[in-house]
Amino acid sequence: MAWTSRDIPDQHGHVAVVTGANSGLGLATARELARRGAHVIMASRNRDRSEEARRSIEEDAPGADLELRDLDLASLDSVRSFATAVVAEHPRIDLLINNAGVMGIPERATVDGFEMQLGVNHLGHFVLTRHLLPSLLGSPAGRVVSVTSFARYTGRAVDPEDPHLRRRYDPWRAYGRSKLANVHFAVELHRRLEAAGANVASLVAHPGLSHTELQARSVQETGGGLSQRFWHLAARNVGMAPDRGALPQLRAAADPDARGGRLYAPRWGTFGAPVGRPLLRRSLNPEAGRRLWEVSERETGERFDVAGIVAGAGRDPRE
Report the catalytic residues.
175
C-alpha span between 290 and 160 (Å, rounded):
11
Q: What values do phi and psi take at 202, rounded to 5?
A: -115, 125
Helix axes 47-60 and 24-35, enclosed angle (nearest 10): 40
Q: What values do phi and psi take at 69, rounded to 5?
A: -135, 135
Q: What values do phi and psi take at 91, rounded to 5?
A: -65, -15
Strand partners, 39: 15, 65
Q: What distances in angstroms separate CA 37 from CA 8, 33, 155, 238, 252, one per listed residue? A: 10, 7, 37, 32, 18
C-alpha span between 250 and 34 (Å, rounded):
12
C-alpha span between 53 and 23 (Å, rounded):
7
In the three-class reduction of DSSP (H, G, I as helix; E, B as strand; rest coil), residue 235 is classed as helix
DSSP for residue 273: S
